Chain A
């Protein structure tokens, strides 16, 4: 009786429906909490570009939200550096924008400032997005008020090889970018290139960082992501650069 085709098909259909309902139900119930967790994670990543990972790890979710609220302002610009009215930076999905043509994309900018004082800016944080070896990579780059010196970077990935490309998430790799510069002496945007091979000293070169052994393609992905996104933000960066230059005169 059990072995008839009708029985097998009925059994499979019932099983599929029951398991399907169970899964979609769970997804519905947990959805809002997952959204919150993802939003919190994004804030942690943004803050990670300007304060150390250990400090963030020591904060409770409420503290992260409070710190973010009192230290981060944001704006959204287009590729000409013009502010887009009515858009909120946190609402912009960088990954979705990545698929649009550059002219139509929205580019969020996060501004890290003294507690509660939006006017005294400490650094500008730019989202990055690109392709690694296997899947998407993304991150946040913080530039100092000179709009040239890197204050810090956070990098994340969807599916790079553990132990190789996945090392871009390690503080030891990310700290290599600190103090590097994105413009050369003649003012051209050259960004920062991660080199092939590992263990060399690049402290003398402001545009190169030590590579990750065995993960050159991921490193190239990070390089492309940096030069691309800094290019998209170039107009905004230049405008801030000239305004701070005027202010310092």
Chain B
């Protein structure tokens, strides 16, 4: 209790701006320069599995954002009380609880999505991004910063899987969010013209190809080299 009050008084002195440069970096860094998928290559399995269509991918992205932000916040709030010998189990328990909550809410309000995503929502528990952020950041930082950090990482994950899903759904099923784009475009060029879809994009192989291309483009632009 006393340690906490001391910390609070220290915290008040510098009075960092709500969106200071350092805090903005917490959110923006994982978007490109330190992206969990393209740079750290974490969370690949769900990136491959759920990205055949935009809609489930969006639900997955929102679920991951919720779980990462909330678990970062919870662990950060408890960081001074968590016994270090059982900290991984504590993190796991918190993450598993949050994931189960997401799963239950989906089951009640979006049963079709639940059926489609149930396995992968469950697998958020093992998503390396979540545990990685808890270990690397939330255990040693204040709640607000942890929220920003979690939000940034999850957003970095989300925009990549949404980008992959966009191309996979467009080229694989000729649609975006279920709207048949190819059909419409084809109809502009007369009745005999038909844009073909590529079955490869619907299979997981398609995700590997798209993801590989995104990583290639990004690393060419940022000049990132693995050491």
Contact = CB atoms under 8 A, between A and B. Distances in A.
Contacts of B84: 2-3
B104 A15 contact: no
Contacts of A12: 86, 89-90
Given A26-B104, A33-B109, A163-B204, A16 B97 contact: no
Given A37-B108, A163-B203, A11 B86 contact: yes
B93 to A, nearest CB: 6
A187 interface: no
Contacts of B105: 26, 30
Contacts, number: 58
Interface string B56-83: 0000000000000000000000000111
B83 A3 contact: yes
Interface in A1-18: 2-3, 7-8, 11-12, 15-16
B83 A15 contact: no
A41 B115 contact: yes
Q: How large is the interface on A (under 10, 10 to 19, 20 to 34, 35 or more residues)?
A: 20 to 34
Interface residues of B, number: 26
* Chain A at the B interface: SS class: helix
B108 A2 contact: no
B119 A159 contact: yes
Contacts of B49: 162
Interface in B93-147: 93-94, 97, 100-101, 104-105, 107-109, 111-112, 114-115, 119
A34 B107 contact: yes
B8 interface: no
A2 B83 contact: yes
Contact of A34 (B82, B108, B112): B108
Given A27-B104, A37-B107, A37-B108, 9 more contacts: A2-B84, A3-B85, A7-B83, A11-B81, A19-B93, A23-B97, A23-B101, A34-B111, A40-B111
Nearest 5 CB-CB pairings of A with B: A37-B111, A33-B108, A30-B108, A8-B83, A19-B97
